[in-house]
Amino acid sequence: MNIKKRKIFVTQPALPDLQEFIPYLEDIWQSKHLTNNAKYHQQLEKEMADYLGVKYISLFANGTLALLTALQVLKITGEVITTPYSFVATTNVLWWNRIKPVFVDIEPTYCNMDPEKIEAAITPQTTAILPVHVYGNPCYVDRIQEIADMYELKVIYDAAHAFGNKLNGNSILNYGDLSTLSFHATKPFTTMEGGAIVCHDEKTKKRIDYLKNFGFADEVTVISPGINSKMNEMQAALGLLQLKHHQENIEKRKGIAEIYKSELKQINGISVLPDFPGLGNYNYSYFPIFVDENKYGKSRDELYFNLKDNGIHGRRYFYPLISDFPPYRGLVSAEKENLQIAKDISEKVICLPIYPRLEIKHIIKIIDIIESNAI
């Protein structure tokens, strides 16, 4: 297809060869076990926990249901401190649990929740902190835990972007009380839709598994008003295959990120995230750039729409801020003065296309467009 006409999206799912998937499907068809903690579900929970270096994983139908359930597992109520710089699901799950979100600003280096803003947002109703490892870079986990311990708060990390990422050799998912993952089609590890909760002890794992299956502890006992948020066998089988290919996909993403980094650093007014010290196994799930209009000569939106006119569909993750959406903008913590850094960054960011099959000619085209828009 003509390179001018072909649309390049921010991401494209990396799928295994269909032939590799067919034996799994045949097995599922033959066994008739389609869901309810069947063979592939159990196998993926074990293999993924080993792969990620965590103790327990519970698989879910998607990342939003994992988050929704995580709040129920820890019986979170009242107010929860969170970030406006995320995908809207992070706050929607609070609303669905009738919890009041309290937004705090982000730090300007990695766009994660600024731990130094947390204490001022704590009230007698605060029960937990819900930060996000944005773009897969770790939050300041030690400082957040220190504050949580001091005020007896729970910590749930929305780790939707952080599959596989390690901090000083330890999985990022081992921090906090619980972490949740998303395996949505846009994520570097995908089961089409899918998600997980990571926890650190067997008792909690059991409770999660009851809650994601209507609250059933056995055939005749419902211990809690649970929900149905289980992953099915087709998703789990795909997950097993995806695990085999994950590392090679990440290497390809890394190669693309390195080209972007070295080429874009020459352009005045375009900046990229610095490497996070101690971060290993980075998954390169996103490649955000930040446009400084004064230096670059064009606004973020001018560049964004120019890329689009040329068939390059980046995404402004995360714009608008969650706190600007109608359900949340009336909250006191959603006021602009409270979230100045988040507001500023959300008006500068564009996430560029990055996925294993992105072709070099398209990477060059993207860089050329960004270069040609500069002063």
Contacts to ligand PLP by CB under 6 A: 62-64, 86-87, 89-90, 132, 158, 160-161, 182, 184, 195
Which residues touch 96 (CB under 8 Å, ≥6 apart)? 68
Q: How far is the CB of 250 from ligand PLP (least distance, A)?
A: 18
Instruction: Give the span between the Cα atoms of 193 and 52, in whole angstroms.
Output: 19
Query: Nearest approach, Cβ of 182 to ligand PLP (angstroms)?
Result: 3
Question: Which residues does 52 contact at the CB level (< 8 Å), separation at least 6?
Answer: 163, 164, 171, 173, 198
* Closer CB to ligand PLP, 64 or 323, in the complex: 64
Strand, helix or coil for residue 356: coil
Q: What's the CA gap between 165 and 134, in Å, rounded?
A: 12
Nearer to ligand PLP, 136 or 269 (CB): 136
Shortest-Cβ-distance residue relative to ligand PLP: 63
The Cβ of residue 218 has, within 10 Å, a number of other Cβ atoms equal to: 8
Nearer to ligand PLP, 40 or 183 (CB): 183
3-state class of 10 per DSSP? coil
Integer Cα distance of 129 and 108 in angstroms: 19
In angstroms, what is the minimal distance from the CB of 89 to ligand PLP?
4
Nearer to ligand PLP, 161 or 230 (CB): 161
C-beta closer to ligand PLP: residue 64 or 281: 64
We find the least distance from the C-beta atom of residue 345 to ligand PLP, in angstroms, to be 15
Nearer to ligand PLP, 132 or 270 (CB): 132
Closer Cβ to ligand PLP, 90 or 204, answer by number: 90
Bond into 163 cis (ω within 30): no
Residue 86 or 323: which CB sits closer to ligand PLP? 86
DSSP state of 347: T
Considering the complex, what minimum distance in angstroms separates the CB of residue 317 from ligand PLP?
A: 8
DSSP string, 91-142: HHHHHHTT-EEEE-PBPTTT--B-GGGHHHH--TTEEEEE-B-GGGPPP-HH
Burial zone of 48 (CB within 10 Å; 0-12 exposed, 13-18 middle, 19+ buried): buried
Helix/strand/coil for 23? helix
Residue 231 or 264: the one with the smaller Cβ distance to ligand PLP is: 231
Q: How far is the CB of 299 from ligand PLP (least distance, A)?
A: 25
CB of 90: closest distance to ligand PLP in angstroms?
5
Q: Compute the least distance from the CB of residue 159 to ligand PLP, in Å.
A: 8
Nearest to ligand PLP of 90, 232 (CB atom):
90
Q: What is the rounded distance in angstroms from the CA atom of residue 268 to the CA atom of residue 318?
A: 23
Q: In angstroms, give the least distance from the CB of 161 to ligand PLP.
A: 6
- Shortest CB 179 distance to ligand PLP, Å: 11
CA distances in angstroms from 315 to 264, 299, 338, 371, listed in the order given? 17, 15, 25, 18
Q: Assess contact for 123 and 26: CB atoms under 8 A.
A: no
Are the C-beta atoms of residues 367 and 310 closer than 8 Å to each other? Answer: no
What is the radius of gyration, based on Cα positions, of the chain? 21
- H-type helices in 191-346, by residue range? 202-211, 233-264, 293-296, 300-309, 340-346
